[in-house]
Amino acid sequence: MSTKTTIAKLPVAAAIVALAGLADSVYLTVHHYTAEPVPCSIIEGCEQVLNSQWAEFQGIPLAAFGAAAYFVAFSLALLTVFGDRRTWRLYGVQATIMAGFSGWLIYVQAALIGAFCQFCLLSAISSIILFVIFIASIFTRSAAPEFESEQLLETD
């Protein structure tokens, strides 16, 4: 019961985390276009990060790519919640790419810019949580092979 419950809850948790990441990324995207300062209460250097050369790619703010990525992750997780188990694998690919990219962005902040932006870190943490949720689903599934065959791999 507990394993099944955990498996059922993981996509829900993923959808909620993706929504938080989406909200954060939308906020940062809007900030990029309005050039308004963002609150930087926990750490210093938000503007240094958000006004750095890494803040955009081909003229498009990185946060906008993040918003799109979170939206895709949310959609895939939600479809899984509603029974389309195939999308969970796509979610896994998406979460892995996002976590990898977030890791690189943390490196950029730490090593190349020398400053951190709390909203960027929040986004990175969200991505990593999405990835951890996927990994957790793999381990939980191996602990319940019956459930795996009946639900997670059900495609018809």
The four Cα atoms 138, 143, 146, 149 give a dihedral, to 10 degrees, of 10
Terminal Cα distance for the chain, rounded: 24
Instruction: Decide if residue 36 touches other proteins (CB under 8 A).
Output: yes
Q: Is residue 22 within 8 Å of 63, Cβ to Cβ?
A: no
Q: How far is the CB of 59 from other proteins (least distance, A)?
A: 13
Contact mark string toward other proteins, 117..146, x via CB under 8 A: ------------------------------
Contact mark string toward other proteins, 50..89, x via CB under 8 A: -xxx-------------x---x--xx--xx-xxxx-----
Q: CB-based burial of residue 62 (10 Å sphere; 0-12 exposed, 13-18 middle, 19+ buried)?
A: buried
Nearer Cβ to other proteins, position 135 or 153? Answer: 153
Q: Is residue 109 within 8 Å of 47, Cβ to Cβ?
A: no
Q: How far is the CB of 98 from other proteins (least distance, A)?
A: 17
Sign of CA pseudo-dihedral 25, 26, 27, 29:
positive
**Interface residues with other proteins (CB under 8 A)?**
19, 22-23, 26-27, 29-30, 33-37, 40, 44-48, 51-53, 67, 71, 74-75, 78-79, 81-84, 112-114, 150-151, 154
